[in-house]
């Protein structure tokens, strides 16, 4: 007696036909589909957690910068009292870190091309630790300055390499939010610095500022552990012709194996063009092509605007701002700075959520316009009114508003853009130039703020900052493109297009076609 076969004629365990029309289904195929979905989901979750862990560990160096900025705003009050230094020496002490950090940023660009992104982060931590320890034990102003210089060089290494590393290991869809992690950790560091000021202010003036600075050594310890967890950048590995290692890293940081091969092909393509160039990188940066010139103007310009709009004045000198409004008690001054730090940290999370959804350029518009309004309002409050509870409340409100708008856009997006827009061959050293511009402008603001306020009042200084912030709005509209959702190699092609103007966004298909054309030329 035979069996009637339906559909594909497969027989089940009871020799019952398992055709497509039979009510008995092959369960193994369903299990296979379910298992495939489960495995895919597990891979997706594992990849996401791994990339986030890498971004967190790579951002730890930025805690050091943030902590120094936050803690020094309160520590200088007691350093001035303990070491009996002048106001000019205070300005120099505060601002010198930003100036000398440009040495670290310049050196970091070259170092990261030689020893890799990962070990440049390690070098940054070691140099900063040496500086922090020197400052903690400093018996005099001269020794304190030596420690400050070492710490600045270490910070210079760290702030320029972290965004580059994260951008180079991140998937396209989440690169923006992940590259904001360094700015998040800067804000966490600033908040920790403010809390440290408040917590240790009760000690004697000879001890408290030393304890405040010593606490800054602790984050560097975790960086040592991080080196055993994070991989090297796949793009740097390709530049070193270590293709298999690069593929292994991409497999850990991307969910789709097909996307891994596409990304690897694009990176090899970019690296191939880089290796074909005979002139040194420094010569290419000094005499750039039109496309690279636009990249440099955009990258360095946005870095400079981030600082000359006065954010360091709001953070370093917030006690002086609140004193001008009428706050006299030191504990209340430091408590008010904690409020500023909390605000700055909370609003960076808004950028984390929106940067890959709303995009880079809209956040920059919101940020720079909001900062302009808040900076102008600080100037009006301190110039047109006297001192009193209302002026104090308005000053705290507008300072918090300024740092909030900064954290939403200009703070994190600045670093995201400079890690995205440059070609692989010059990325590290071009980004280093942007970091140098950032640090120089930061130092100039920090070292001149007190002198400027003596000349044109605190309110006048903030009118000046509001004018600079207004110029930043124009700069963003004119020169900054949207890079959301594009690969690093596709972003390069945006700047290659001579007709890309006013920050308008190219269609993704057009960019992909340009990449294909470039690939064909190479072949």
Rounded Cα distance between 101 and 157, Å, is 8
pLDDT at residue 40, as a whole number: 67
Q: Distances in Å between the alpha carbon of 8 and those of 4, 11, 16, 19, 31? A: 11, 9, 12, 5, 19
Rounded Cα distance between 300 and 421, Å, is 11
pLDDT tier at 517, thresholds 50, 70, 90: very low
* 85-89, 308-312, 378-382: least confident range: 85-89
Structure tokens given for 451: 């002198």
Rounded Cα distance between 117 and 132, Å, is 23
CB 238 within 8 A of CB 268: yes
Rounded Cα distance between 313 and 62, Å, is 19
pLDDT at residue 472, as a whole number: 94
11 - beta bridge partners?
A: 17
CB 332 within 8 A of CB 395: no
CB 400 within 8 A of CB 408: no
pLDDT at residue 18, as a whole number: 40
* 33-42, 73-82, 294-303, 408-417: least confident range: 33-42
141-169 vs 181-200: helix crossing angle, rounded to 10: 150
Residue 86: which of 99, 76, 100 has the closest Cα? 76
CB 323 within 8 A of CB 334: no
Query: From its phi and psi, is residue 116 left (phi > 0), alpha (psi between -120 and 50) or beta?
Result: left
Q: Distances in Å between the alpha carbon of 262 and those of 128, 258, 268, 283, 398? A: 39, 6, 10, 31, 48
What is residue 500's DSSP assignment? Answer: -
Half-sphere exposure of 22 (CA within 13 A, CB side): 19
CB 178 within 8 A of CB 433: no
In the block, residue with structure tokens 């102008």: 376
Residue 98: which of 426, 363, 443, 486 has the closest Cα? 443
Query: From its phi and psi, is residue 502 left (phi > 0), alpha (psi between -120 and 50) or beta?
Result: left
Rounded Cα distance between 341 and 315, Å, is 8
Q: Does 398 score more than 60 pLDDT?
A: yes
Residue 118: which of 65, 155, 150, 157 has the closest Cα? 157
- Helix, coil or strand: residue 17: strand
- Stretch 352-368: mean pLDDT: 88
Q: Does 8 score more than 70 pLDDT?
A: no
Structure tokens given for 118: 């990962």
Q: Does 147 score more than 60 pLDDT?
A: yes
- Stretch 397-426: mean pLDDT: 86
Q: Does 434 score more than 80 pLDDT?
A: yes
Residue 2: which of 11, 277, 211, 359 has the closest Cα? 11
pLDDT digits (tens, 9 = 90+) for 77-136: 888 888 888 878 887 887 787 778 778 877 777 788 888 888 888 888 888 888 888 988
Rounded Cα distance between 236 and 398, Å, is 43
- Stretch 31-50: mean pLDDT: 69
CB 110 within 8 A of CB 281: no
**Arithmetic mean of pLDDT over the chain:** 78
Q: Distances in Å between the alpha carbon of 171 and those of 62, 166, 310, 487? A: 22, 10, 33, 8
CB 97 within 8 A of CB 128: no
Contacts of 392 (CB under 8 A, 6+ apart): 322, 325, 326, 327
By the 10 Å C-beta count (0-12 exposed, 13-18 middle, 19+ buried), 323 is classed as middle
Q: Does 368 score more than 90 pLDDT?
A: yes
Q: Does 6 score more than 50 pLDDT?
A: no
Q: What is the dihedral of CA 105, 111, 113, 119, to 10 degrees?
A: -100
């Amino acid at each position: 007696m035979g069996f009637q076969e339906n559909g594909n004629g497969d027989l089940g365990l009871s020799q019952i036909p398992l055709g497509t029309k039979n009510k008995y289904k092959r369960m193994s195929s369903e299990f296979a589909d379910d298992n495939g979905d489960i495995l895919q989901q597990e891979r997706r979750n594992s990849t996401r957690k791994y990339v986030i862990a890498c971004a967190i560990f790579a951002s730890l160096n930025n805690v050091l910068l943030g902590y120094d900025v936050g803690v020094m705003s309160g520590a200088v009050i007691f350093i001035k009292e303990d070491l009996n230094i002048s106001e000019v020496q205070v300005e120099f002490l505060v601002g010198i870190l930003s100036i000398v950090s440009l040495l670290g940023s310049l050196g970091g660009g070259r170092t990261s091309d030689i020893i890799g992104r990962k070990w440049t982060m390690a070098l940054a931590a070691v140099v900063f630790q040496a500086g922090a320890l020197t400052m903690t034990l400093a018996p005099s102003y001269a020794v304190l300055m030596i420690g400050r210089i070492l710490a600045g060089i270490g910070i210079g290494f760290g702030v320029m390499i972290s965004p580059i590393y994260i951008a180079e290991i991140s998937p396209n869809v989440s690169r923006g939010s992940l590259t904001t992690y360094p700015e998040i950790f800067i804000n966490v560091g600033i908040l920790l610095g403010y809390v440290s000021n408040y917590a240790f202010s009760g000690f004697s003036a000879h001890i408290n500022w030393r304890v405040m600075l010593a606490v800054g050594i602790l984050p560097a310890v975790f960086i040592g552990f991080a080196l055993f967890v994070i991989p090297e950048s796949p793009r740097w590995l390709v530049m070193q012709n270590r293709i298999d290692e690069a593929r292994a890293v991409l497999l850990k940081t991307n969910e789709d194996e097909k996307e891994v091969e596409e990304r690897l092909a694009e990176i090899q393509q970019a690296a191939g063009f880089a290796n074909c160039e005979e002139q040194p990188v420094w010569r290419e940066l000094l005499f750039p092509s039109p496309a690279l010139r636009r990249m440099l103007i955009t990258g360095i310009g946005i870095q400079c605007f981030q600082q000359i709009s006065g954010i360091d004045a709001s953070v370093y000198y917030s006690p002086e701002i609140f004193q001008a409004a009428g706050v006299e008690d030191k504990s209340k001054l430091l408590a008010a700075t904690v409020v500023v730090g909390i605000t700055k940290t909370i609003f960076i999370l808004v950028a984390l959520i929106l940067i890959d959804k709303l995009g880079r350029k809209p956040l920059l518009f919101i940020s720079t316009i909001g900062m302009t309004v808040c900076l102008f309002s600080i100037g009006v409050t301190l110039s047109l009114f006297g001192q009193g509870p209302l002026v104090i409340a308005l000053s705290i409100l507008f300072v918090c508003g300024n740092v909030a708008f900064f954290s939403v856009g200009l703070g994190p997006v600045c670093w995201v853009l400079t890690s995205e827009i440059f070609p692989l061959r010059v990325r590290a050293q071009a980004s280093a130039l942007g970091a140098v511009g950032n640090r120089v402008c930061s130092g100039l603001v920090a070292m001149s703020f007190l002198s400027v306020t003596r000349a044109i009042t605190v309110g006048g200084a903030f009118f000046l900052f509001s004018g600079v912030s207004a110029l930043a709005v124009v700069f963003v509209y004119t020169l900054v493109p949207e890079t959301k959702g594009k690969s690093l190699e596709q972003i390069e092609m945006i700047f290659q297009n001579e007709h890309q103007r006013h920050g308008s966004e190219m269609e993704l298909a057009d960019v992909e076609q340009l990449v294909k054309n470039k690939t064909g030329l190479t072949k």
